[in-house]
Amino acid sequence: MAVVKASSEDIKLLARLIRAEAEGEGKLGMLLVGNTGVNRVISNCLDFKDIRSIRRMVFQSPGGFEATQKSYFYQRARESEIALARKVINGERFHPASRSLWFFDPGTQTCPAQWYNQWNTGKFKAHCFYQPTRQDCPRV
């Protein structure tokens, strides 16, 4: 059962986002990006108040995803990424992004313990993941 409402076009949009943000990090890296996006739709807190749809989450500005400004984001969704998008929309969660609302690539640096006052939950390949406290965002 879906944890967020999503049409077939929403699923394709999320599939394009996860590919554009994390194709080089493999299947799990793309699932982690998907978790982060779905968490933003669910959360209704901090930077993501009133983000109630996949489309609003993907194109949120400011605070959205850099990949939406790149030409490769606008390529057609592939079946492999559509399947990954369905998994996260249906509630599958993957560590370290199971409750994360943010991720970033620190380059050659290690992941800071906190990023914008949010705690690090771990790193996968190039990306560090950050989640809010339950007090700040109880719905995530």
| pLDDT score of 1 | 78
Residues constituting the chain = 140
Q: How many angstroms separate the CA atoms of 115 and 104, rounded? A: 9
pLDDT in tens, 29-72: 999 999 999 999 999 999 999 999 999 999 998 888 999 999 99
Predicted TM-score (pTM) of this structure: 0.96
pLDDT in tens, 83-96: 999 999 999 999 99
Domains of the chain (ranges; CATH) run 8-131 (1.10.10.2520)
Please name which of 10, 5, 11 lies closest in space to residue 82, comparing C-alpha atoms.
11
Q: CB neighbours of 104 closer than 8 A, spacing ≥ 6?
A: 115, 127, 128
Q: How many angstroms separate the CA atoms of 28 and 93, rounded? A: 11
| pLDDT score of 16 | 98
| pLDDT score of 127 | 96
Burial code (b: 16+ CB inside 10 Å, e: under 16) for 95-112 equals: ebbbbbbbbeeeeeeebe
